[in-house]
Structure 1
Amino acid sequence: MGKKVLLAVIIVIALFVGFTYWSLSSTSKTFDTCEIVGREEMKQINFREFDSVLVAASTLYEGNTIKNIMQGEQYRKAWSTPVKVPIVFLDTLLDGVHILEEGGGHQTHSLKLKTADGTLLTLRSVSKDPSPLIPKVAESLGLENIVVDGISAQHPYAALVVAKLADAAKILNTRPRLVFVPEQDFLGNYNEKFGNRLFLLEYETEGNAQWLGINAVRTLLDTEDLQELKFEKNKNVIVDHSALVRARLFDLLIGDWDRHSKQWGWAIKDSSEMKVAIPMPCDRDNAFFNLEGVLPTLISNNTFLPEVQSFESDIDFLKGLVSPFDIYFMRDFDENIFEVEARELQVLLSDEEITKAFAVWPKEIRELDADNLIGKIKQRRNDLVTYAKEFHDVVASAEPVTEPLNGSEDLKLNDTQLACFSCSGNDNNER
């Protein structure tokens, strides 16, 4: 009997390894851009003759039966489904913009733009390039497609819906819109990397804030600059407690687990006595994150990657979603704020508002994913007060932060300033 069991185990392992490599070998590329329907050679198209284009975000993640089992179905159909997208030329965009610099994180290619009045915008690529994140050992074992294919768990158009939901929830956002940027003389040397690609065009979370239309708000800062304003320049700066709690509870509603400090901007509201920092979340790549399949389930778990959580109707490990950012800014927040903001979100995000937000998607994408996501958002909203109380308890009981926040490593802060934002000066906040 022992030999039979051992043989069965060996067969199962062999099948698992075989199916794994079969699944991973079905995609040989690590990066690809969008694909225009019916056009094999984009360089031959005069895009100035058209106002829109039918384009698929990426066909790199198309699956088959084995891939769907081993690596999950994810949002493969949304990535490969063609949608109609407006064409944008930068020399005429908002009466003309200037290219400032190339940016982007580990996966996103971005180009920062500036308008004549000093407003900053960014083109953020819809297709991602995760190759910088692939470990050498994965390459040597032929397993790099685990990382590459993981992008299929991100919805290519999530940010568009999230912005509409944020508007309904009265949360600041970068107002993204989907555009296609063809190769053009204006791009110059940037054509190779940024020409003929699908982007989210959105406002930046720093610089001129006039586009927000908020009285007494003229400036947007990133988190590092906000810290510098408070500590190094000894300004009387406070954070809007209610607005930050609402924004973080909203993150729970949409399943956005990747909320480190570099993904926040702050609208600075000046008053006679102090400056109030109103949070503005950005980078919604991981909203509605849908992790499925044998391999992703094995790799991501509460022990090794507690923050990487699939968007389901309920949150089964809320503690994993609490970050150093939360502890640094909210560890001393009043418990009552969490319940108040949760109940306010329940009112603002009615069934009607949630459904209406998905109207921003093209019909083809709504038919694929909207109903499923709407149901999950509604269930999370209904349970939000419970999540809010738990969230507060986890943050309040956490040990103080002892290391700089992501992106703030260059700031010279003492131990007290490292521990929390309100550790210096008066931070009693009333909305």
Structure 2
Amino acid sequence: MRKGIRGFALFIIILLIVVFIVPNVFNSREEKAFSNEARLEQARESYQLHRLGDSITTSISDFYDRSKFAETFLGIHYRKMWHTPISLPVLDLAKFEGGLTYQKLGGGQQTTSADVNSKSGLAYTIRSVNKDQSKALPPIMQYSLARPMFRDQASALNPFGAIITAQLENALGLLHTSPKMYFVPYDSTWHNDFLIHLSGRAVIIEEEPGDEWINKPTFETAYKIVDTDEMIAAWQQSSINIDKQNYLKCRLFDMLVSDWDRHSGQWAWAFIKTKTGNMAKPIPMDRDMAFYKFDDGILNHLALAINHKFQSYNPEYDDVSGLMKNSKELDLKILSSVSQDDFLYQARQIKEQLTPTIISKAFSVYPEEIYAEYGQKHIEIFNQRLKNIEVLAESFYQLLNSDD
């Protein structure tokens, strides 16, 4: 009996060492990838703005370059896309849009970002391409083996997804931001907080829809731009109508590119004057999950068995209900009165508007080195998903109007 107790105690001790001690001792790789201090020092030594040209060859992150053994458990994902060296333009704050002025740090739980204003007062966001998904863990688990495992799963994200979707949204006549990828160098004249959090990183810079963009053609000369809560409140007070057909088209497009994370916080709304009254048009934002690839690796299959929302960019729509999970509450509010015929009509509109030329042009935004590996594959997947978009629309309608 005592021997069994001692054996169990020894097992618990070893387990605690593996789970809580080892990841915090043998973590030089993590430190290099996620430490602000290490990255800032490297930027200060190697990436001085005045020493760089207009572009730099670098990888977005080497952290996701793993062994075949690790890939078996954690998945292949888009690892090659993340660690392949590519050419990125160097961001000079003094030159972009006449000069950018730092306002404050922003970002969500996993992304580092900075709010900046152009010389003319337009608002932009500069956000890190790489994410720290371990920040979604409870505090105690951020010191455990779960931390490096969660961080690794950012490799399921397509770092160019937001740039590709903007090209396609433009062809569909949807409002959207126009993200561009840059490399942030070091310049001692810039704000210290900006340098600490973003210097030495690959970033996305894009418009931040809000008051600064009122009456600008970028967002259809909207007289007001608000978040979802404010839009819903105005709608319930009958001071605004929602462009439900436009929202439906956005949602079908979300599913086409396998962007499963479309909760209410992922939208801004442009209030536009029309002949029939004031209309709220959706502005989809935060396209980090577009073209997601999660369904490889032993651990990921276990995760999908628990939570089916992590839908991957495959030729077939694996689970439409998973693509709806984060957005169903908002979908029900806006689309409950929309007919199945409308669902099918918007699906056909997307199919007609996204021609082979437009699709090819959209995926050509991949850097040459990335396109060689992924370009044609992703076009073929896209075409197969587009071919079946009417079936998707029918499933979406039926699931939304079911009793479950």
User: Do the two structures share a fold, i.e. TM-score over 0.5?
Assistant: yes
Instruction: Sort the Cα spacing of 1:398 and 1:349 in 2 relative to 1 into closer, same or farther, 3 A.
Output: farther
- Cα deviation code 1:314-335 (max 9, x no counterpart): 1122122222121122122222
Q: Does 1:240 align with 2:243?
A: yes
Which residue identity lines up with residue 82 of structure 1 in the other structure? P
* Residue of structure 2 in register with 1:110 after alignment: 113
* Residue of structure 2 in register with 1:229 after alignment: 234
Structure 1 consecutive aligned stretches of length 4 or more whose deviation exceeds 4 Å:
22-28, 136-141, 213-216
Question: CA separation in 2, counterparts of 1:81 and 1:314?
Answer: 28
Pairing partner for 2:127 from 124, 128, 134: 124
Q: Does 1:342 align with 2:316?
A: no
**How high is the TM-score relative to the length of structure 1?**
0.80
User: What are the equivalent positions in structure 2 for 1:349-368 lying under 5 Å apart?
Assistant: 349-368=354-373
Deviation at 1:30, TM superposition (A): 6.9
Which residue identity lines up with residue 393 of structure 2 in the other structure? A
Deviation at 1:364, TM superposition (A): 0.5
Deviation at 1:172, TM superposition (A): 1.6
Asked whether the 8 Å contact 1:175–1:203 carries over to 2, the reply is yes
Q: Does 1:70 align with 2:70?
A: no
Instruction: Sort the Cα spacing of 1:80 and 1:211 in 2 relative to 1 into closer, same or farther, 3 A.
Output: farther
Question: CA separation in 2, counterparts of 1:236 and 1:229?
Answer: 5
User: What are the equivalent positions in structure 2 for 1:160-199 lying under 5 Å apart?
Assistant: 160-184=163-187, 185-199=189-203
Asked whether the 8 Å contact 1:23–1:67 carries over to 2, the reply is no
Pairing partner for 2:309 from 297, 307, 310: 307
Deviation at 1:284, TM superposition (A): 1.0
CA RMSD of aligned residues (A): 2.6
* Residue of structure 2 in register with 1:206 after alignment: 210
Deviation at 1:204, TM superposition (A): 1.2
Question: CA separation in 1, counterparts of 2:106 and 2:227?
Answer: 15
Question: CA separation in 1, counterparts of 2:163 and 2:378?
Answer: 14
Asked whether the 8 Å contact 2:43–2:199 carries over to 1, the reply is no
Asked whether the 8 Å contact 1:312–1:376 carries over to 2, the reply is yes
* Residue of structure 1 in register with 2:158 after alignment: 155
Percent identity between the two aligned chains: 27
* Residue of structure 2 in register with 1:410 after alignment: none
Unpaired runs of 5+ in structure 1?
1-17, 35-39, 400-431
* Residue of structure 2 in register with 1:409 after alignment: none
* Residue of structure 2 in register with 1:92 after alignment: 95
* Residue of structure 1 in register with 2:13 after alignment: none
Deviation at 1:139, TM superposition (A): 5.0
Q: Does 1:79 align with 2:82?
A: yes
Question: CA separation in 1, counterparts of 2:403 and 2:56?
Answer: 50
Deviation at 1:150, TM superposition (A): 0.7
- Cα deviation code 1:238-293 (max 9, x no counterpart): 11111111110001110111111111111211136631011111111111111111
The structure whose residues are more often helix, as a share, is 2
Question: CA separation in 1, counterparts of 2:23 and 2:355?
Answer: 41
Question: CA separation in 1, counterparts of 2:334 and 2:307?
Answer: 23
**How high is the TM-score relative to the length of structure 2?**
0.85
Asked whether the 8 Å contact 1:112–1:121 carries over to 2, the reply is yes
Asked whether the 8 Å contact 1:130–1:148 carries over to 2, the reply is yes
Instruction: Give the number of aligned pairs.
Output: 371
* Residue of structure 2 in register with 1:393 after alignment: 398
Deviation at 1:235, TM superposition (A): 4.8
